[in-house]
Structure 1
Amino acid sequence: MKRFLGLFAIVLLAAGCGVRPSGVIPGEAAPSGPAVGSVGNTATVYFVLDGKLAPVSRTGVSDVYADRVRVLEQGPNEDERASGYTTELPPTFEPIAIGISEAAIGVNVRELTPNAVSQLVCTIVAAGGGGPSRTVVLSGGGQTLQPQGCGG
């Protein structure tokens, strides 16, 4: 009898858990496309070609600002170098903190060439950075530059 009452109590509890049957509940369409921050996007980064700033499209780079700046840190790839692309960023510039409107790097920003500054700023702005003013404040080596826009 105890077994019967125990089993009856379990069945009674399971049946009364409060979940009521319903029909099919329609939902929205499933999301599509790459997620924000995903790898596989085409990213625009800036290198130097014939002494002038030049955009380069790269695939397989996420749309996170810091990831795009890391592409600059790596420099032009073999094909880009063969086509004449270079960088004016020092090999040790090391991105430290890259945000929407600020970028801290591991070298004195006052020692960067105008093209090197533009490489960083334009790459961040091309990724959607720069905030409403579309400018970026660069800092590094204990120095900070005034807000810079792409191209100036």
Structure 2
Amino acid sequence: MKRLLVLLAVVVLASGCGVRPSGVIPGENAPSGPPKGNVGNTATVYFVLNGRVVPVVRTGVGDVAADRVRALEQGPDEDERAAGYTTELPPSFEPIAIGVSDAAIGVDVRELSPNAVAQLVCTVIGAGGGGPSGTITLSGGGQKLPPRACGG
């Protein structure tokens, strides 16, 4: 009898909790794909292969241009080097500020080879940089290069 009273009390309390039934409530589409910032993200950086600047897809790189430039600064990984990829960027060019249409680095940009400039420009543009003009202005060492497009 005591159990029956306890059960009855639980049913009464649960039915009076104030939650009313409703129909389907519409909302946005469910998310798909990996979340932004996920270490499984893929990003494109540009290295040199047989004298030409080419895209290389990397995993575990963030979505923003600065993350991609930091990956570029690390150079080709062991597998990429074994496949013949190189870089013409100096060992530590210290990215300072990466914007939408400009990138400042810690070396004199006049001392960079055309391939090194293309590596930086294409990597930043590949991350959504370039603004309306589709170009990046590189600066560093007190110098500034004219705006450059990827492949141009």
The answer to whether the superposition gives a TM-score over 0.5 is: yes
Give the aligned partner of residue 58 of structure 2: 58
Q: Deviations over 1:85-120 (max 9, x none)?
A: 100000120111112111110000111000000000
Aligned partner of residue 92 in structure 1, secondary structure: coil
Q: Distance in 1 between matches of 2:37 and 2:132?
A: 21
Give the aligned partner of residue 119 of structure 1: 119
CA contact (8 A) 1:38 1:62 kept: yes
CA contact (8 A) 1:121 1:136 kept: yes
Q: How much has 1:35 moved relative to structure 2? A: 3.5
Aligned partner of residue 136 in structure 2, secondary structure: strand
Structure 2's unaligned 5+ residue stretches are 1-17
Aligned length: 133
CA contact (8 A) 1:39 1:63 kept: no
Q: How much has 1:33 moved relative to structure 2? A: 2.5
Q: How do 1:3-152 residues align onto structure 2 when only pairs under 5 Å count? A: 23-24=21-22, 26-28=25-27, 29-152=29-152
CA contact (8 A) 1:48 1:87 kept: yes
Q: How much has 1:23 moved relative to structure 2? A: 4.6
CA contact (8 A) 1:49 1:84 kept: yes
Q: Distance in 1 between matches of 2:115 and 2:55?
A: 12
| TM-score (structure 2 length as normaliser) | 0.80
Q: How much has 1:34 moved relative to structure 2? A: 3.0
Q: Distance in 2 between matches of 1:75 and 1:36?
A: 24
Q: Distance in 1 between matches of 2:78 and 2:129?
A: 28
CA contact (8 A) 1:121 1:148 kept: yes
Structure 1's unaligned 5+ residue stretches are 1-19
Q: CA RMSD in A?
A: 1.7
Q: How much has 1:60 moved relative to structure 2? A: 1.3
Tell me: CA distance 1:133–1:35, structure 2 relative to 1, closer, same or farther (3 Å).
farther
Q: Distance in 2 between matches of 1:124 and 1:38?
A: 19
Q: Distance in 2 between matches of 1:76 and 1:37?
A: 22
Q: Deviations over 1:39-75 (max 9, x none)?
A: 3221111000111111111111111100000111000
Percent identical pairs in the alignment equals: 71
One-letter amino acid matched to 1:63: D
| TM-score (structure 1 length as normaliser) | 0.80
